[in-house]
Each structure stands twice: as C-alpha cells, then as structure tokens.
Structure 1
Amino acid sequence: MTALDLISPAAAPPADAPINLVGLGRRALADALAAAFGLDARKARMRASQIWRWVYHYGATDFAAMTDIAKDMRAALAERFRIARPEVVERRISVDGTRKYLLRMAPGIEVECVFIPDVGRAGALCVSSQVGCTLTCAFCHTGTQRLVRNLTAAEIVGQVLAVKDDLGEWPSGREDRRLSNIVFMGMGEPLYNLENVAAAIDVISDGDGVSISRRRITVSTSGVVPEIPRLGEMTSTMLAISLHATNDALRDALVPINRKYPIAALMDACRAYPGLGNARRITFEYVMLKGVNDTDAEARELVRLLKGIPAKINLIPFNPWPGAPYECSSWARIEAFADIVARAGYASPIRTPRGRDIFAACGQLKSESVKARASARLKAAL
C-alpha cells in the first residue's frame, strides 16, 4: 500500500442533490443536460455551450442571469444543478499586493491559494491540487501538513473562479486582466492528482471561457518521473521541476521522493518532455539554503546537470516559517550563484519574495484550519 492509497476520497453528495456544473468538461456538461432533460445530442451541446459561456466567460453564479435561456428552462436548471464556488474563509493582502485566500471546499476540507500581481503577463494565481501533501520536502511548510485527499477538478477550477470574483475579472479575456497566468505550485503534488489537474486545465484553458492559454499554465512537480510524459501529453502545459540540489545525497534529504526517482531518471524524463524546445523551456526551481546548496561549485554542477535541456533556472530565496530548519542564503551569495548560471547561458531570475508577511510565499502555505486545530490541541494539553 502506498501513501496515495490512504487518501480520503471526496465525499459523494446525496443522490438527489443538485449537480455542481463547475469543473465539468464540455462533453460531461452536455451529457448531464441530456440525462436531466432528455435532450438529443445536438440540443444538449447547444445548451451546454450557452451555460459554459455564462459560467466561465461572464462568471454567472445563478441560472437566473442566463438571459438567452427561456425562463422555464432556467428554473428547471436551478432545480437540478448548481454553480458552486468554494467558500472564501479568509482573504489576506500583503503589503506588496499579494493576496492569500483560505478556501473551504467542504467541512474540514480547506486549502490556500495565492494571487501574485505583476508576474507573467499581468499576474499569476498559485493554485493547490491536494489538501496537504505527502512529500515532506524538508524546506516546505506545506509538507508538514498531512495529506487528506486530492482536490476534484471542480475544486481546482473553483479556486480560479473565486479569485476572479474577488478581482472583478469578469467577463474573461479582457485586455486589462490582472490574472493572466496559472501555476500549480500551491499545496500538494499535482502529478499525484494528474487526472483532476488535467481536467481542470481543459476547463481553464478553453478559449470560450476563462481563456488562459496552456502556454501560460505551469505545472510544478517534485519529480514524479513516470507521470511527467503523461502530463505533457494530456495538458501541453509548461513544466517546472522542484529541483533544489545537484546530487542525490543532498536531494534525498531535501526532496525525499528523490530516493524513488533519482536525479538521472528525472533529467531523462525532462529531456523527453513532449514539445520541449527553446519556445517551451522547462523551469528548474532552486531554493537557496544558506550553507546547504548555495556554493559556486554547486552552481557549476547545476549548469552541467542541465546541459542540453532548454531551461531557465528560477532561484528562490528561502522563505522562513516557524520551526524551519534552514536559513536563506545571503543576497550576495544568491547573486554570485546566479551570475555563474547566467554566464553559462541560462536565464536565472532571482524570484523576489512575495507575500512573506502573510505567509503566502513559496513553501509557506499551510491551511489556517490546521494551524488553528493544532493551537487548540496545545491549549487543551496545558
């Protein structure tokens, strides 16, 4: 039995409960309408296209708003279906404009996602794919929260819709949009939930809805090697690798999945990633840990390791959290490391820490509900 076998499934709604249309693909939406109203395939597709545009282009949350659908049909839709968003339990705004959301998907099921302005074309939304995480990366706060379950496609899409609501980003596709990019770099390992992640990407990237191009969607993995080719085949998105070390001994300690899929196997999977090229480079994420992985020798080894892979290297100053066992490298050390990588011909931007004051930065996410429950247990023990 693996850790994934222990994931609690999403609770099934009562048989007579209205079906949530959010997260359904076009075909599934048409099939649901056909089954509910006895529509033939053509009429079901037509009705599905109408609803799709209202939900994902205009952001409708009520069938009553769908004015090109007859009133009696709108009422019938409201009896059988719903357009559900996750509940925004808390929204915190950093001094730098970063927004962190605590979203409740179901009782006891909460995740965080983060909107970061001025990233990508306009701004990036960092979404979660699991409640908690099973990978226990040594420098990551999320890894200290036990894995509860995978998020459904509806729950992943729901994060995007909830943030678009908050930003006032309706209708979709506006030239002045603030949310232009999606990164699967929140809570969880996306490739351990690939089916739901891929289904959510199909919805988010649809040009008649939210309309975020697959070239502006990045999926980050800690190195689930067998799923990397499937990710490319199923989604055609950009790939990011959470690397953080240039040798197996250190990566085994920092990113424990390396013990199962060592660096050589990971690099082979990267070289074979579908569609890889100069226009579609892989991003290698490298968190800078003082006295651990930040020497000039390791910068040169990183260059050697990535030889032949169209890549950019994202250097991430370590973002501290209570009880963290590491410190961030000095800025001078990070710049020296970046200079070696840049001289070798690789783009090596240093990621400016965003949202540190609200624990929204890379590696800091952990459901507030988990922290609250831990606090309550501590008080009860005193």
Structure 2
Amino acid sequence: MTVSAPVLAAPAAEPVLRRPSLVGRTRVGLAEALAEIGVPEKETRMRVGQLWNWIYHYGVRDFSAMTTIGKGLRAQLAEHFTLDLPEVTAEQVSSDGTRKWLIRMAPTGPRDRGAEIECVYIPEVDRGTLCVSSQVGCTLTCTFCHTGTQRLVRNLTTEEIVAQLMVARDRLGDFPGRTPPEGAFVPSDGGRFVSNIVFMGMGEPLYNFDGVRDAIAVISDDQGLSLGRRRITVSTSGVVPQIGPLGDEMGTMLAISLHAVRDELRNELVPLNKKYPIKDLLEACRTYPGLSNAKRITFEYVMLKGVNDSDAEARELVRLLKGIPAKINLIPFNPWPGTRYECSDWERIERFSEIVFRAGYASPVRTPRGRDILAACGQLKSETEKLSARARLMLEQGEVEQSTALAG
C-alpha cells in the first residue's frame, strides 16, 4: 500500500477566489457563462455544443486547445473562466488496487477554504466503478457508518459532483488524445476505466436531489461523458418521498440501504427509519418507475455479528421483499476506529446468503475492497473539519507550524 498524505501548512488569512471553472456545468450553465461575456444569443447553442465536446469528450484543460472556436472567443473565455479540476490533496492505494482520492473543491466564498470530500475508484476485471459523494459530511446518523459520525457541512453542487468523474478519468488517462497527468494510474488490461458510477460515497443523494439530478444529466449525455443511466446507481437510506421522482426524473438504478427487517432495529441502525418506516419504504420500492426483472432494485444489507444476521432475519427479509424484482447485496461489515459493531462470521454470512438464494433472490456477498485505506463501504469520512479546526486554532494562538496530517 502506498499512501500520500497532505501536509498541513499555515493557511492564508483569506483565500484568493479564482476565476470560476466551466468543468461540471450543465448546458444551461455553459449558456449562462457565454451570456456573461457577451456571446450573441443566436450563437449560444452552437458554442455550447463546442464547449461541451471539448470539456466532456476530450477533457481539455486549456481553452487554446479548442481549435473549432475562434481565437477571439477563446481569449475571452480564458480571461473570465478556467477549465480547472478540483485539487487532489491525497491519494491512497489499497493492496487490492482500490484508490481513494481526497479532493478539495474550489472556495465558494471569501471565508471558504474549499470543502474536501472522498471519492473511490474500484477496478475489477470487467468494469471500473467510481463511488462518488453527494454531500460534504452527511445529514444522517447511521450508527454502523463512519461517514455518519461527521456532521453535514453542505450539499455538493452539480459541478462538484460531475468533477469527481472528471478527476477520475483524468487520473486514469481516460480522455482521447490527452496525455495523462504526472503520477496517473493508467489501466493496461483494457477494461478497467470508469464504466459504472454509484452514489454511495459521502452523503444522502436524495437530500441533494436537484444537484444529483443535474449531475446525472451531464454524466449520461451521449455527446460527452456518455455513461448510460443503467450504469448509474443511486443509493438511498430511504428518503421515501423522493424515490418516485428519482425514477421519473433520473431513470437510474436504485439501491436501498436496508440493513434490518424490523422497525425497532432499523430505527437504531438507520434513524431515518423513524420518519419513513420499512412498510412505507418498501411500498415506494414496489411502485418505483420502470421496475422490472431487467431493472431490479438492489437492497444492501450490512452483516453485523449478533445484530441482524440470524436465520429468522434472513427468512423475514425474503418475506418482506416478496413480489419486488430485487437483488440483495450482503455486505460484510467494514470496521472503523471507535465502532461498537463486529462483522458477522463467514459461516453465518454464507448461511444467511443460502436462505435468501434458495428463496429465488440473487444474494452475492460483496467482497470488501479498500478496507486497509478506509475506502470500503461505510468507511468514508473526510478529515477536513478536524484539520480546518486545528489550523484555525493554531492561527488564533499564533502558533502555526508546518505539520503532517494523515488522510482518510
């Protein structure tokens, strides 16, 4: 395992706001940018199409490379905007090839030093999956999840969500004709670039509905990044009122963080259940737009030793899901510092899986990936708040010294 850790240096008194980046913007957002610099309305559609192609298909980082756009407009664009990606402040590489990036977003205001989030790339033989975040921190407090111990700071913008895919493709050398940046990891076996996206990183996606919806529109546009919506999965802990609109407006695959078959236990594991109990959640699943055997819902079930892993609970899970086209992902619990839970024994997980499988449901046991760098399911937690608070305290006391901080 190799670990690159960020160095905490004395922060500037006030960060300097940079020119805004066009990377991550929707077509409407690009049109608004062109209007800002006086591009005639009659040209806007053509110019948006050109920018879209250069930014999202070719991944260019310099307006001068946009050879289909006149030099005058290129100069105007460069004067007012950039094509910068968020900064990768740390990269950790697991022994199994999983990569976790700590990404710092551009400041959004004079007192914002740039929020940090985590994004994980999981290479497999037949696919490359990118786990993206939708919030800085999380509004939920699921007791088995490390991210849930970090308070919610804010929603990520559409641009910041899209930028995570742009960073991944850039660092994997996955833009045609573009030289990968120094230190990039370029897959050599032909099938491990980003082919799938899961909204399973930091945050509850359905509490950032508009940002996630607009980001998916950019990501799935076939003239740019071109990831089909069947290759995008949005995971929710059960924000029932938004599940139907998710299917109607986004048309992605749906995953439900279930983890319990009784309200009493789920109230403890997933406190959101107190507002939207299991019965209401499953009814929303039964009526999910487009639900079919070809578009099954994935139910995620973390295996907690002596908590939710009995034979009786396996049988109740089968009963609850009757009639719902579904796949059940059994997730061995991934430990993190301070947790009170343990992972179920392997024999118990296999027995649970066997009961579910014999009832007619696919019940794969998810292979833990990135455990050694806290990049596995339920382990993501940015250290941004802790580092920022420490830096502010040191600054106030006049004792700022350069120090090293571990990421992840």
| TM-score exceeds 0.5 | yes
Question: What is the CA distance between 1:328 and its match in structure 2?
Answer: 0.1
Give 3-state SS (helix, strand or coil) of 1:20's partner: coil
Give 3-state SS (helix, strand or coil) of 2:341's partner: coil
Q: Distance in 2 between matches of 1:122 and 1:34?
A: 40
Partner in structure 1 of residue 33 of structure 2: 32
Question: What is the CA distance between 1:309 and its match in structure 2?
Answer: 0.5
Q: Distance in 2 between matches of 1:286 and 1:228?
A: 19
Q: How does 1:185-200 map to 2 (within 5 A)?
A: 185-200=200-215
Question: What is the CA distance between 1:58 and its match in structure 2?
Answer: 0.7
Corresponding letter in the other structure for 1:79? E
Question: What is the CA distance between 1:21 and its match in structure 2?
Answer: 1.8
Residues 90/131 of structure 1: CA separation in 2 closer, same or farther (3 Å cut): same
Partner in structure 1 of residue 93 of structure 2: 93
Q: How does 1:257-336 map to 2 (within 5 A)?
A: 257-336=272-351
Partner in structure 2 of residue 132 of structure 1: 137
Q: How does 1:1-382 map to 2 (within 5 A)?
A: 18-41=19-42, 43-105=43-105, 106=107, 107-118=113-124, 121-171=126-176, 176=191, 178-372=193-387
Q: Is the 8 A contact 1:102 1:368 kept in 2?
A: no
Corresponding letter in the other structure for 1:318? F
Q: Distance in 2 between matches of 1:374 and 1:22?
A: 29
Residues 177/288 of structure 1: CA separation in 2 closer, same or farther (3 Å cut): closer
Residues 287/376 of structure 1: CA separation in 2 closer, same or farther (3 Å cut): farther
Give 3-state SS (helix, strand or coil) of 1:348's partner: coil
Question: What is the CA distance between 1:33 and its match in structure 2?
Answer: 1.4
* Runs of 4+ deviating beyond 6 Å: 374-380
Q: Which runs of 5+ in 1 are unaligned?
A: 1-12
Which structure is higher in RCO with an 8 Å CA cutoff and minimum separation 6? Answer: 2
Give 3-state SS (helix, strand or coil) of 1:60's partner: coil
Q: Deviations 1:176-222 (Å, cap 9, x if unpaired)?
A: 45110000000000000000000000001111111111000000000
More helix by share: 1
Question: What is the CA distance between 1:64 and its match in structure 2?
Answer: 1.1
Q: Distance in 1 between matches of 2:33 and 2:287?
A: 38
Two-structure CA RMSD over aligned residues (Å): 2.3
Q: Distance in 2 between matches of 1:285 and 1:374?
A: 34
Give 3-state SS (helix, strand or coil) of 1:146's partner: coil
Q: Deviations 1:247-267 (Å, cap 9, x if unpaired)?
A: 100000000000000000000
Q: Distance in 2 between matches of 1:377 and 1:156?
A: 27
Q: TM-score, normalised by structure 1?
A: 0.91
Corresponding letter in the other structure for 1:24? R
Residues 66/143 of structure 1: CA separation in 2 closer, same or farther (3 Å cut): same
Question: What is the CA distance between 1:65 and its match in structure 2?
Answer: 1.2
Corresponding letter in the other structure for 2:367? T
Residues 80/375 of structure 1: CA separation in 2 closer, same or farther (3 Å cut): closer
Q: How many residues align?
A: 364
Give 3-state SS (helix, strand or coil) of 2:37's partner: helix
Q: Which runs of 5+ in 2 are unaligned?
A: 1-14, 108-112, 178-186, 398-408
Corresponding letter in the other structure for 1:110? E
Question: What is the CA distance between 1:373 and its match in structure 2?
Answer: 5.6
Give 3-state SS (helix, strand or coil) of 1:334's partner: helix
Q: Is the 8 A contact 1:23 1:199 kept in 2?
A: no
Q: Distance in 2 between matches of 1:274 and 1:316?
A: 26
Q: Distance in 2 between matches of 1:258 and 1:52?
A: 41
Give 3-state SS (helix, strand or coil) of 1:37's partner: coil
Q: Is the 8 A contact 2:104 2:115 kept in 1?
A: yes
Q: TM-score, normalised by structure 2?
A: 0.85
Partner in structure 1 of residue 3 of structure 2: none
Question: What is the CA distance between 1:377 and its match in structure 2?
Answer: 10
Q: Distance in 2 between matches of 1:348 and 1:377?
A: 48
Q: Distance in 2 between matches of 1:108 and 1:291?
A: 41
Q: Distance in 1 between matches of 2:32 and 2:51?
A: 13
Question: What is the CA distance between 1:34 and its match in structure 2?
Answer: 3.5
More divergent stretch after superposition (371-380 vs 51-60): 371-380
Identity level (%):
66
